[in-house]
């Protein structure tokens, strides 16, 4: 198995759910960058600098960044659930971990 969680042989290339995939981190980073540029362009006047006008032309792509981020999250969460489904109370444990991860952000 190589560093990005892919197994290579003569027949197939398969992603393994029990390994970290660096490519998904890159896609997540691009989604965050797209959303950030989109929000930035909504706040700035494109007439103030020529570079802002150029960036603003590509800003609508940022609207898709949120969609991409949700798709990635669903894919990764499904992988976690499938990997742990043979353990006792796997869904309860999953939900407790989610709450402990997300709940502190509200305070």
**Distance (Å, whole) CA 102 – CA 107:** 10
**Distance (Å, whole) CA 42 – CA 64:** 15
Domain assignment of residue 87, yes or no: yes
Domain assignment of residue 58, yes or no: yes
What distances in angstroms separate CA 43 from CA 65, 94, 96, one per listed residue? 18, 38, 38
Split into its structural domains, the chain has a count of 1
Residue 92 reports pLDDT greater than 90: yes
Residue 1 reports pLDDT greater than 70: no
Domain assignment of residue 1, yes or no: no
Strands (E), the chain: 6-8, 13-15
3, 26 contact by CB (below 8 A): no
For residue 36, what are the domain limits?
6-106
How confident is the model over 5-33, as pLDDT tens digits? 555 554 555 666 666 777 888 888 888 88
């Amino acid at each position: 198995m190589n560093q990005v969680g892919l197994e290579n042989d003569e027949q197939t290339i398969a992603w393994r759910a029990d390994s970290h995939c660096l490519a998904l981190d890159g896609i997540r980073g691009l989604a965050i960058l797209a959303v950030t540029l989109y929000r930035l362009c909504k706040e700035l006047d494109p007439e103030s600098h020529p570079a802002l006008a150029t960036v603003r032309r590509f800003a609508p792509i940022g609207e898709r960044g949120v969609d991409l981020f949700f798709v990635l999250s669903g894919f990764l969460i499904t992988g976690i659930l499938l990997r742990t489904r043979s353990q006792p109370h796997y869904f309860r444990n999953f939900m407790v971990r989610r709450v402990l991860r997300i709940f502190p952000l509200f305070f």
